A = this chain, B = another copy of it.
Amino acid sequence: MIDPADLAHLKEIPFFQRMSDSELRKVSALARARSLEADEFFYLQGDPAEMLFLLKAGRVKLIQNSADGQQILLRMIGPWSLFAVVALVEGAVYPVSAQAVEPSLALYWTKNALMELVREIPGLALNAMQMMSERVQEYQDRLRELATERVERRLARALLRLGSQAGKRVPEGILIDLPLSRQDLAEMTGTTLFTVSRILSQWEAQNIILTGREKVIIRFPHGLVRIAEDLP
């Protein structure tokens, strides 16, 4: 289910680090593939966590909803990123929903496959732990940000992060290469689309960025860094 060219990619991923070739073959043998159209969901928040995914192509949003319909956008997943690591945990349910924002293709492993892999590959659980601990740290940082910093800084940081994850060099600067509405940015930074719109307009006037419909191009990253770091 994984073609040989993919094996090289697998080796780059922290989750599959320090595995022998035979272990990697085992891993690929148990993988399945699933492809989704834009706007379809890999899974919904609250579903039993039965599959672990590795995105091969496309983009995926991880969204969390509250009981009263509020939602936030926790992260954007790009190619060769793993998501739904929670599937490794006994009896867990997905704590977020995963929605494709473009036509997407993902490899996945079912619960059974994962249990087999964990049993046979001793380092796997440790690698998973490492990923989770990075996630914990990231969320701790973002909690502090959200609790103590104002919208401008959070938005600047979000754009820089997106730029480094999904940035693409274009003549005008660095294009954030995914469909990204003002609403999306608002849900990522804990504000409203109006505030995002105002701030982006202001930054555009200062020539820090270039905006368009569901599009942001960073012209002077350093301008954003200055705002993110709260410098003069």
Residues of A within 8 A of B (CB): 64, 66, 68, 70-72, 74, 85-86, 88-90, 92, 95-96, 118, 122, 125-126, 128-130, 132-133, 135-137, 139-144, 146-149, 187, 189-190, 230
Cβ–Cβ contact B148 & A70, under 8 A: yes
- In the complex, chain B residues whose CB is within 8 Å of the CB of A126: 88-90, 118, 125
Out of B74, B96, B132, name the residue touching A133 (CB < 8 Å): B132
- In the complex, chain B residues whose CB is within 8 Å of the CB of A230: 68
Given the complex of chains A and B, what is the CA–CA distance between A152 and B96 in angstroms?
25
- In the complex, chain B residues whose CB is within 8 Å of the CB of A122: 122
Out of B125, B136, B148, B149, name the residue touching A136 (CB < 8 Å): B136
Cβ–Cβ contact B148 & A190, under 8 A: yes
Cβ–Cβ contact B128 & A139, under 8 A: no
CB distance from A216 to the nearest CB of B (A): 20
With A118-B126, A136-B139 known as contacts, the answer to whether A144 contacts B88 (CB < 8 A) is no
Given the complex of chains A and B, what is the CA–CA distance between A88 and B64 in angstroms?
28
CB nearest to A92 among chain B residues? B133
